Amino acid sequence: MPVDKNQLTKFNIGKGVVGGHRFAVWDYIGKCQGDECVIHDVCSYKDAKPTSDRQTKKCGIERYYMGVVFKPFGELVEKTKDPFIMQWIGLHIIPLYHQLIKLKKFERSLKSPMDVSSKGDVRAHPVLKEIRTVISAIRTEWRMSGLMEIVKDEGYMGGSFPAPLDDDDVTDLEGSPDYHDSLYTDTEEED
């Protein structure tokens, strides 16, 4: 499908100037799809009144989510004023978060997290894998950009990160395989 060049001019990429450097962010928020939106029935923003003409008919969920996501990055950019980090945040990381919210909206529309293939096999819905892939890509961008170290150096996240889980921790998270049986054993002894 060819791209309508007139539509591209409606996208707003720039966020202005921070510390003498232009800070561009690709956070294009689509229009509210109304009744055609996959989560229209559960959307808490569908009846919200826009606060300005500019916000009219914009997706409220995307607008709210992107505002929450962008706020800490805005604070970080204000402190560091590094044009390369600004570019990485605005044109790499923020778009990934935006992609994530779009996938999460689709996930919310599913009646079940399970899907049946054309062969009749039951499996997790493919959108769940896509969500994990985007989250992984966000983590990769954080690491590759050096943003993790900058965030730590600026005193965010308590200055330290939790250690990765080892095999014993994962087993603890899964729970004891004997716990379920112990529930029935205790009740049988009481009777």
pLDDT > 60? residue 80 = yes
Q: Is residue 3 domain-resident? A: no
Distances (CA, A) of 77 to 29, 156, 183: 21, 13, 53
**3-state SS, residue 21:** strand
Q: Is residue 4 domain-resident? A: no
Q: Please give the radius of gyration of the chain, using alpha carbons only, rounded to the nearest integer.
A: 22
Q: Quote the strand ranges of 36-168, DSSP E.
A: 114-116, 122-124
The whole-angstrom distance between residue 110's C-alpha and the CA centroid of its chain comes to 17
The predicted pLDDT at position 8 comes to: 36
* Stronger pLDDT, 101 or 152, i.e. the higher one: 101
Distances (CA, A) of 149 to 15, 19, 54, 142, 152: 24, 21, 37, 9, 5
Q: Is residue 5 domain-resident? A: no
Q: Is residue 33 domain-resident? A: yes
* Confidence label for 139 from pLDDT (cuts 50, 70 and 90): very high
Q: Which residues have a Cβ under 8 Å from the Cβ of 97 and sit 6 or more positions away?
A: 65, 66, 69, 138
Q: Partners of 31 in the beta sheet?
A: 58
Q: Partners of 116 in the beta sheet?
A: 122
Q: Which residues have a Cβ under 8 Å from the Cβ of 186 and sit 6 or more positions away?
A: none
Q: Is residue 20 domain-resident? A: yes
pLDDT > 60? residue 113 = yes
How high is the mean pLDDT of the chain? Answer: 76
pLDDT > 80? residue 84 = yes
The predicted pLDDT at position 35 comes to: 87
Q: Is residue 45 domain-resident? A: yes
- Counting the structural domains of the chain, the total is 1
What is the Cα–Cα distance from 23 to 3, expressed in whole angstroms? 26
Of 3-7, 42-46, 98-102, the range with the lowest mean pLDDT is: 3-7
Q: Is residue 57 domain-resident? A: yes
Angle at 38 between CA 34 and CA 40, to 5 degrees: 45
pLDDT tens, residue by residue, 158-191: 645 555 555 554 445 455 556 555 555 544 555 4
Q: Is residue 2 domain-resident? A: no
Which residue segment(s) compose the domain that 95 sits in? 11-190
Predicted TM-score of the model (pTM): 0.68
The predicted pLDDT at position 170 comes to: 45
pLDDT > 80? residue 4 = no
pLDDT tens, residue by residue, 22-79: 777 876 788 888 889 999 888 888 776 666 655 557 888 998 898 888 888 888 887 8
The predicted pLDDT at position 180 comes to: 52
Distances (CA, A) of 103 to 11, 59, 106: 21, 14, 5
The predicted pLDDT at position 107 comes to: 93
Mean pLDDT along residues 142-167: 73
Amino acid at 134: V
